Amino acid sequence: MNGHHVHPLRTLSARVLLVLALGLALTAPMRASGPAGRVLFETGFERFEGYDPALDLVDGLGRGQNGWMSVGRGGNGLLTNLLADFTGQYAYIGYQGPTNRDTSVNLFRPVRLQPDTNALPVVVFRVTFSVRDDTPSPASADDFRWSVYTPDDHRLLTLDFHGPDQSINYALDDGKGFVGTGFQFEYGAVYDLELWMSFGRKRWSASLNGASVAYELPLTTTLARRPALGSVDVVWAAHPKGTWDDNYLLFDDYRIVAYPPNAVAPLMEFDRLDAQGRAVLKVWGEPGVRYRIQSSNDLSVWTDRETVSPSGGDGLAVWTDPQPTATRAYRAVALP
């Protein structure tokens, strides 16, 4: 750690537990279970996979290892020194800025997928990463981002880690710029990012260490057709534009998997208490999939309640608990 002691994700996790204790369901995206998915690409950047730590991941001439590519030229490569939560070989971007006029650097490994919105409509991206700055200075700190592109380079979304104030932000493809999530990251902390994209419903959500930071947002606001997946890029962006700090991002266990609709747990959100004090819940899932709602008074024993099936393009189902209570937790489970 480098002296920063902000722990917003712990605060969010505590808030989720409090919400559950009050009987208000709010769940972050969960890991897929049930039917297996189709792995589109995965790597741990290890030598046995063909990665050479003596070389850049993508060099200054654009030559990349194992199909990796870049837009812009800047510091990147592979490291082997042992760090907490990073073992073996892992990748980095940053530290040494471009010597030309580039104001951002993208590293990506193309996957070029036209999602089957019937059989494999959900794509999940997972990666472990950490933003580091050996000489932190808010005035000169850069941004690091994860951005999703179509095969024709249309940027669908970005999750941004803004160096100057350590805020976490997102951007859609609506041209309106970044929107704050209300949370911050900590330099030196290690995060497991999960990015869930429903290409059938054109929605996405993201979580860090299991805590939701973006929730049921539009996958595209400009494309009339369902988008395809081209790549998930790690981005280093200079801030202010044209200047580069010596900060960097470590990343490892990069994985993209397409899943069938019933392999992915739905999202649940407390909507309100009605006039009779009954909890009204929203369940977002894939259309045509049945979800069993369960409840618990102690987070240990779960009772089956009812089954719902989202309908319409947004994949939303609304359920009202017929039994008012001051203390109850809820979850939903996808059925075969």
pLDDT tens per residue across span 163-187: 989 999 999 999 999 999 999 999 9
Confidence at residue 30, expressed as pLDDT on a 0 to 100 scale: 43
Domain boundary among 229, 261, 293: 261
**Residue among 243, 232, 196 nearest 69 (CA):** 232
Q: What is the DSSP letter of 49?
A: G
| H-run or E-run covering 17 | helix 8-21
Q: How many Å separate Cα 312 from the centre of its chain?
A: 25
Q: Could you tell me if 215 and 87 lie in one domain?
A: yes
Domain assignment present for residue 130? The answer is: yes
Domain assignment present for residue 157? The answer is: yes
Amino acid at position 336, single letter: P
Amino acid at position 16, single letter: V
Q: Show the beta-strand stretches assigned E in 238-290.
A: 248-259, 267-273, 279-284
Domain count, the chain: 2
Q: What is the CATH classification number for the domain harbouring 176?
A: 2.60.120.200
Token duo for residue 59:
């060099």
Mean pLDDT of the region 283-293: 87
Mean pLDDT of the region 73-100: 88
- CA torsion sign for 180, 181, 184, 190 is negative
Cβ atoms of 305 and 321 closer than 8 Å: yes
- CA torsion sign for 137, 211, 151, 254 is positive
Choose between 15 and 138: higher pLDDT: 138
Mean pLDDT of the chain: 85
Residue 61 CA: distances (Å) to CA of 55, 56, 74, 217, 305: 12, 11, 11, 37, 60
Neighbours of 129 (CB within 10 A): 27
Q: Could you tell me if 68 and 92 lie in one domain?
A: yes
Q: Could you tell me if 253 and 293 lie in one domain?
A: no
Lowest-confidence pick of 177-181, 253-257, 265-269: 265-269
Domain assignment present for residue 236? The answer is: yes
Confidence at residue 241, expressed as pLDDT on a 0 to 100 scale: 64
Cβ atoms of 277 and 321 closer than 8 Å: no
CA distance 230 to 160: 19
Confidence at residue 242, expressed as pLDDT on a 0 to 100 scale: 66
Q: What is the pTM of this model?
A: 0.83
Domain span at 195: 34-261
Residue 10 confidence class, pLDDT cut points 50, 70, 90:
very low
Does 333 score more than 60 pLDDT? yes
Lowest-confidence pick of 21-25, 146-150, 178-182: 21-25
Domain assignment present for residue 12? The answer is: no
Q: How many Å separate Cα 238 from the centre of its chain?
A: 22
Omega prior to 240 cis, within 30 of 0: yes
Residue 77 confidence class, pLDDT cut points 50, 70, 90:
very high
Q: Could you tell me if 231 and 98 lie in one domain?
A: yes
Confidence at residue 117, expressed as pLDDT on a 0 to 100 scale: 78
Mean pLDDT of the region 100-125: 88
**Residue among 74, 79, 104 nearest 91 (CA):** 79
Confidence at residue 8, expressed as pLDDT on a 0 to 100 scale: 39
CA distance 171 to 277: 37
Task: Write the burial class of residue 313 (CB in 10 Å: 0-12 exposed, 13-18 middle, 19+ buried).
Answer: exposed
Confidence at residue 193, expressed as pLDDT on a 0 to 100 scale: 97
Confidence at residue 134, expressed as pLDDT on a 0 to 100 scale: 79
